[in-house]
Structure 1
Amino acid sequence: MRFFRRTRRRIRDRQVEVSGRPVDDVDLDSLLALVADSLGYESTFAADGATLLLSGPREFSVRLTGLRREAARRTREDWPMLVSEHLAHAVAVVDEPLDACDLGQVRPLLRVRVFLADEIEGARVVGRHLSSDLVEVLTVGYGGAVRPVRPEEAGCWPIPAAQALDLALRNARDDERLSVSRRDLGGVAAWQLDGPTAGATAHLRHLDDYLPVPDDGVLVAVPAPGTLLVHPVEGIGVVRAIERMRLHAQREVDGREDGLSPQVYWWRDGRLTLIRADVIAQDGQVRLVVAPPPEFARLLAAIAARPPR
């Protein structure tokens, strides 16, 4: 066994000597060639290692810049899975009209969609937390052909992931306009904002373009990716509003295939904070147990202490 390990090491060292490239790049190339062969493709690397030409059932090029950056951030134990997923994805999207690794091509098609954190746990996506349980995920595409951007694709771009997410949010704000309607939730007035795509939450940061936002912020429910339900935080009636919005959001989520979150959130100063409220069934009765975060609980106490207007 030692003989074979020494032989492989000598072969690799010889490849490094001939190519003049770093050991990690040569090792990654060997793994890429092995996986490509298992998929039925012959592989030819560009001299600079930036692309890989696959020849077999189809002939096409795979960009490797983002993959190499992602591999540099991960342990070698992760490389086989990383390479396998990268080449499998490249084969799966070969017929897409645009190259997601080319920011110039996909820039206007970048959007952000919100998912429950539990739903995407372990998924290879580019995203950031909007709240403790909601994640903004970078997507590319249009119409029904929208999908998450993979880290290796975003790694090809000349901008960091956070900047790409901000770009996607600007695209949504500039290209899409939400419709606004009033809702009566059992005596609690609210605004409902709906959009033609699944990125309504992208407009949270510009909510004052649609309706007045008080200094204490607003309550927000996101029962579907294209819908926002909003109630201003202006008085102690906000406690009742939490209950009404939570139950309404639960019904919406239960009745839709694209239901998102039944919870209620507090939006203020660019932050979305979960106001956890659980529906508890006990002894044949259903009640709502609200556990507001400390900062919101302090705000409620301050509101209750204010003299009536």
Structure 2
Amino acid sequence: MGMFGRRGQRRDGVEQPRDREFTYLSEAEAARLRVLVRDAFAGRGIEVTVESGRVTTGSGWRFGLTNLAAVCHNDRRGPRGWPALVDQHVDRAVRSMDGPQALKALPHEQVLTRLHPRFIPGEPRLLKAFGYGPVSVPGLLEVLALDLPETVDMLTADHLADLGDLTALRERALQNLRAVRVDRHERVKDRSGARFDVLMGDSYFVASLALVLDEVVRRYGKDAPTPDGILVALPHRHQLAFHVIRDSDLVPSLNLMARFAAAGHEESPGALSPAVFWWHDGDFAQVATADGASEYLKLTEEGVALMARVVGG
């Protein structure tokens, strides 16, 4: 997948009617995907009710289709690869219905070695189970998860109750996070003077590296952090973009990063945020988003203040 979108796939053309829930799929493609999901559950003896963005079992368990739709959309094999992708996702979903089995099967120390912090969208329905973490990035929840060979299991507040002190668990998770593998590092530049670094990887915790951003910048960036801070974007779980702020290139870099974040958020599995954030002294503030219908940049109050601080006005 290209950093600004999908390339090279032979699919329904843009002239075909688009699905309302997943606009990057045609109506016919989305209908086929939902049939594949229904049949995959049926093949495991589970009857589901299919809705536009999710399926629901008779017992009330819900399986969202957003990540799966994005995975299929970005698979270069096109629709011929979708049955296998759907089968894999449904298989993992069914195995996770009873909660993380690793908490019961693994020794305590092995559980701790697999513990990582993970960002998920801050949806109100998730607060009861996953609202236990510190408030770090606006609009996102920071949760603890187990990195297992075949799955990544997010831990609810109930799961953590007998595991240990939450602060100590988070510190252990951050320690493990520092060893997360980055598979690809690119530097993006254009004629406007915009520049930023992009880290990518198969790990579900690449975006989580924002929690140790100063260390990441020193390791991968050409410029050391400055007193003006760092711009950062977390389009989805497999990607982190950052820009060390210097007065001469803040405006073009912010514009390009906002478009980059919006594109990655729209079409990728594990979507997190289409916004650009400002990291300063360890805190995050949302500063900008891109208007999808144009190249217009929407600044928050914090974004306006950042512009005044760095470039004046």
Q: TM-score, normalised by structure 2?
A: 0.59
Structure 1 residue 202, shift from structure 2 partner: 3.2
Q: Counting strand residues as a fraction of each chain, which structure ranks higher?
A: 1
The code of the aligned residue for 1:256 comes to: S
2:167 aligns with 162
Percent identity over the alignment is: 20
2:140 to 134, 154, 176: 134
Tell me, yes or no, if structure 1 residue 250 matches structure 2 residue 262. yes
SS at match of 2:225: coil
User: What residue ranges of structure 1 are gaps of 5+ in the alignment?
Assistant: 1-88
2:176 aligns with 171
2:296 aligns with 288
Tell me, yes or no, if structure 1 residue 210 matches structure 2 residue 216. no
Q: How does 1:16-27 map to 2 (within 5 A)?
A: none
Tell me, yes or no, if structure 1 residue 304 matches structure 2 residue 311. yes
8 Å Cα contact 1:101-1:156 kept in structure 2: no
8 Å Cα contact 1:100-1:153 kept in structure 2: no
2:251 aligns with 239
User: Equivalents in 2 of 1:227, 1:271: separation in Å?
Assistant: 19
8 Å Cα contact 2:121-2:272 kept in structure 1: yes
1:191 to 192, 197, 221: 197
Structure 1 residue 280, shift from structure 2 partner: 6.5
8 Å Cα contact 2:116-2:174 kept in structure 1: yes
Aligned pair in 2 of structure 1 residues 239, 119: CA closer, same or farther (>3 Å)? Answer: farther
Structure 1 residue 137, shift from structure 2 partner: 1.2
1:110 aligns with 115
The code of the aligned residue for 2:304 comes to: A
Tell me, yes or no, if structure 1 residue 150 matches structure 2 residue 156. yes
Moved over 4 A (4+): none
1:273 aligns with 285
The code of the aligned residue for 1:153 comes to: H
User: Equivalents in 2 of 1:135, 1:243: separation in Å?
Assistant: 25
2:57 aligns with none
Cα RMSD over matched residues? 3.0
Structure 1 residue 257, shift from structure 2 partner: 2.9
Equivalenced residue count is 211
SS at match of 2:143: strand
User: What residue ranges of structure 2 are gaps of 5+ in the alignment?
Assistant: 1-94
8 Å Cα contact 2:258-2:288 kept in structure 1: no
Structure 1 residue 90, shift from structure 2 partner: 11
Aligned pair in 2 of structure 1 residues 149, 288: CA closer, same or farther (>3 Å)? Answer: same
Q: TM-score, normalised by structure 1?
A: 0.59
User: Equivalents in 2 of 1:197, 1:90: separation in Å?
Assistant: 19
Larger-Rg structure? 1
